[in-house]
Amino acid sequence: MDPESRDAREARIRSLLERSRGGDQSAFRELVVLHQDQAYGLALRITRSPADAEEVAQDAFLRAWLALARFRGESSFGTWLYRIVARRAFDRLEQLRSRRGRELGGEAAVDLAERTPAPAGGGSPEAVARARRLERMVSALPAAQRAAVTLYYYEDRSVEQVAAILGMPENTVKTHLSRARAALRAAWPREGS
CA distance 124 to 159: 32
CATH no., domain 111-193: 1.10.10.10
Question: Please, where in the chain does CATH 1.10.10.10 lie?
Answer: 111-193
pLDDT at 111 exceeding the cut of 60: no
38 and 82 Cβ atoms separated by less than 8 Å: yes
Nearest CA to 41 among 114, 149, 122, 133?
Answer: 149
Alpha-carbon gap, residue 35 to 15, rounded angstroms: 15
With CA atoms as reference, report the closest residue to 151 among 184, 180, 120.
180
**pLDDT band with cut points at 50, 70 and 90 for residue 75:** confident
Distance CA(168)–CA(95), nearest Å, equals: 21
The CATH code for residues 1-109 is 1.10.1740.10
Residue 108 has pLDDT above 50, yes or no: no
pLDDT tens-digit readout, 30-71: 999 999 999 999 999 888 889 999 999 999 999 999 999 888
The size of the chain, in residues, is 193
Domain with CATH 1.10.1740.10 in the chain: 1-109
- For the chain, percent of residues with pLDDT exceeding 90: 40
